[in-house]
Chain A
Amino acid sequence: QKEVEQNSGPLSVPEGAIASLNCTYSDRGSQSFFWYRQYSGKSPELIMSIYSNGDKEDGRFTAQLNKASQYVSLLIRDSQPSDSATYLCAVGLSGYSTLTFGKGTMLLVSP
C-alpha cells in the first residue's frame, strides 16, 4: 500500500514564528509533490508544488524535497492567524497521474 504520512497535529505556533510541516511518502518512484491548504469546511487550495530535490520559495512559503529520504516539508515564515488551517501533502505516485493525499496537519497560529 503506497502511503503519504503526516502528523495530524495540531501544530501550534505563535504569530510571527516559523511553522514547519512534514510529510513522508512510501513510493520511491514518486515524481510530483504538492502542498494544499484546507480551511474547515472548504476545498483544498494549492499553495506549493515541487518536483526536484532542494528548496522552492514562494513568498512566505518554502517547500523542501528530499527524494533520497522520501521526505517533503513546508515552511511558513512569519506565520499569521489566517494561516490556521489543515495543510495537506499530496504526492504523484509512480505509474499514476493522480495525486494521493495525506490526512493533513492542522496548524494553529495564535495572535
Chain B
Amino acid sequence: EPEVTQTPSHQVTQMGQEVILRCVPISNHLYFYWYRQILGQKVEFLVSFYNNEISEKSEIFDDQFSVERPDGSNFTLKIRSTKLEDSAMYFCASSRRDRDGYTFGSGTRLTVV
C-alpha cells in the first residue's frame, strides 16, 4: 500500500527558531496538503499545493509559513520564527485528484519550547 512519508516524526525547537518539516507524497498523487492538529483540537487546514503552486491557504498560513516542492518527490513546510502556539502535530496529505479523499502521513509532532 503506497504511503505518505513524513520526517522527522518528532522535532523539538527553541522559540524563534526555524523548522522545516518534510514529506514525500504518494508518487502518482497530484494534490498536496499540510494540516495541523493542536492537542485535543480538530484537524485544521493550512495550505494546498497543485501544479507547483499554492492553490489555497487558510488564515493560519501567514508569512511565517512557506511551502516548497524542491524536487519531484519532496514537499516541505517551513515555519519561521516559531512560537509556543505552533506546537502541534503537522500532517502532510496527498490525493490523486481534486475532491478525492486524502492519504495522510504519520505526522510530525512539533514541540516549541
Contacts and interface: CB of A to CB of B under 8 A. Distances in A.
Given A43-B106, A49-B101, A99 B45 contact: yes
Contacts, number: 49
Contacts of B91: 43-44
A92 B99 contact: yes
Interface residues of A, number: 21
Interface residues of B, number: 23
A82 interface: no
Given A98-B45, A104-B42, A31 B105 contact: no
Interface in A25-69: 31-32, 34, 42-46, 49
Contacts of B100: 49
A31 B104 contact: no
Nearest to A38: B43
Interface of B: 31, 33, 35, 41-45, 48, 55-56, 89, 91, 98-107
